[in-house]
Amino acid sequence: MPKIEELINEIKKLKKEKNAVILGHNYMDYSVQLVSDFTGDSYDLALKKTDAKIIVFAGVYFMAEQAAALNPDKKVLSPDPNAGCSLSDSLDPETLKRYKELYPNAPVVLYVNTSIYTKALADYIVTSSTAVKVVKKLNSDVIIFGPDANLANYVERQTGKKIVKVPPNGRCIVHANYTRQLVELARRKYPNAILMAHPESPLEVLQAADFVGSTNQMIQFAKESKYNEFIVATEIGMINALQLKVPNKKFYPLVTTESCACARCPYMAMITLEKIKRSLEEEIYEVRVPLEVAQKAKEAFERTVRLLEKS
């Protein structure tokens, strides 16, 4: 039996034995998506409810951290705690505190790609699918927003509000490489395809896109669209999620691993089947978040949900 199938079977067995579930981000390798009980975007997975005793988070570390904060009664495991994120790493609590002192009346809206310690200082926590809605609903014309400057620019354009970016230049090392020129090349190569872009991409790419949304929103849009072919401006693992969930349509990455090393997020790529198996066997690496920090971050999540539910 090929090694990959063996690993998949062993992981499935371990999940049953240990009463564990695997939450897998949409960017995971195809094989990791196959062993995941739920796949989704970072916000969706954070709010997932489960009866299992153990959650293995197949995604980057800030995602495992927020699962631990929101599920204090579960054991949350990260297969590789070194799987960071350039956005999450770009904003620390001390920097955010300084901005809060500079703009004491401005609500703090943080993108979900932040550490739990930074989230604990936020008023609202958003994903790319909720950022514009939340900022529009806030009763303030000045908003502190971080850490993604591209998403901040997009929100500023869509809402007309003054967005104070913290840090001024936070970037995702994958999406920051996309350009209008790459879009034009892809459009020439795939003349029947329309372009879906993740809002972490630069504004020039978002302006050229036919659809802008989070990874879950891309799946939804592709399912419902009358079009059958899509150029996808986001991390290349997303092609796996789209092919699994929308098997009757065609998806082309804006950049491939052959054309640019930036196609694959090096942090997401650190989560492998081998590491997931070891994580389940040895129950490593447990992610612990101090209760007080977890409570504050949880309040910010709940405040956001309440705001979004308000008409």
**Positions that interact with ligand 13P (CB under 6 A):** 26, 41-43, 113, 127-128, 172, 200, 214-215, 235
Tokens found for residue 248: 């009757």
Least distance from ligand 13P to the Cβ atom of residue 154, Å: 13
Interface characters, 89-118, with ligand SF4 (x: CB under 6 A): ------------------------x-----
Per-residue x/- track, 248-267, ligand SF4 (CB under 6 A): -----------------x-x
CB of 310 to ligand 13P, least distance (A): 22
Binders of ligand SF4 among residues 218 to 237 (CB under 6 A) are 235
Is position 289 an interface residue for ligand SF4 (rule: CB under 6 A)?
A: no
Give min distance, CB of 42 to ligand 13P, in A: 4
Smallest gap from Cβ 124 to ligand SF4, in A, equals: 19
User: Out of 85, 120, 135, 222, which residue is the one contacting ligand SF4 (CB under 6 A)?
Assistant: 85
Give the shortest CB-86-to-ligand 13P separation in angstroms: 9
Q: In the sheet that 142-146 helps form, which strands lie side by side, from edge to edge?
A: 124-126, 108-111, 142-146, 162-165
Least gap, CB of 267 to ligand 13P (angstroms)? 9
Going by the annotation, the residues of the binding site for iminosuccinate are: 25, 42, 111-113, 128, 198-200, 215
Pairwise CA distance, residues 120 & 299, whole Å: 8
Residue 280 near ligand SF4 by CB under 6 A: no
| Residue 21 site contact among ligand SF4, ligand 13P, none (CB < 5 to 8 Å, cut-off depends on kind) | none
User: Residues annotated in the binding site, as ranges?
Assistant: 25, 42, 85, 111-113, 128, 172, 198-200, 215, 265
78 touches, from ligand 13P, ligand SF4, none (C-beta below 5 to 8 Å by class): none
DSSP string, the chain: --HHHHHHHHHHHHHHHHTEEEEEETTS-HHHHHH-SEEE-HHHHHT-----SEEEEES-HHHHHHHHHH-TTSEEE-S-TT---TTGGG--HHHHHHHHHHSTTSPEEEESSS-HHHHTT-SEEE-TTTHHHHHHHSS-SEEEEES-HHHHHHHHHHH--EEEESSTT---TTGGG--HHHHHHHHHH-TT-EEEE-TTS-HHHHHH-SEE--HHHHHHHHHH-S--EEEEES-TTHHHHHHHH-TTSEEEESS-TTT-GGGS-TTGGG--HHHHHHHHHHT-PBP---HHHHHHHHHHHHHHHHHHH--
Check residue 247 and report its DSSP letter: T
Give the one entry of ligand SF4, ligand 13P, none that residue 42 binds, where binding means its C-beta sits below a cut-off of 5 to 8 angstroms depending on kind: ligand 13P
Instruction: Tell me whether residue 32 or residue 106 sits nearer to ligand 13P (CB atom).
Output: 32
Q: Which does 194 bind (CB under 5 to 8 A by kind): ligand 13P, ligand SF4, none?
A: none
* Contact of residue 26 among ligand SF4, ligand 13P, none (CB under 5-8 Å per partner type): ligand 13P
Q: Compose the 59-78 pattern: x for residues touching ligand SF4 by CB under 6 A, - for all others.
A: -x------------------
Burial-class residue 258 by CB neighbours within 10 Å (0-12, 13-18, 19+). Answer: exposed
183 CB-near residues (< 8 Å, 6+ apart) = 195, 205, 208, 209, 231, 233, 254
- Sites of contact with ligand SF4 (CB under 6 A): 60, 85-87, 113, 172-174, 200, 235, 265, 267-268
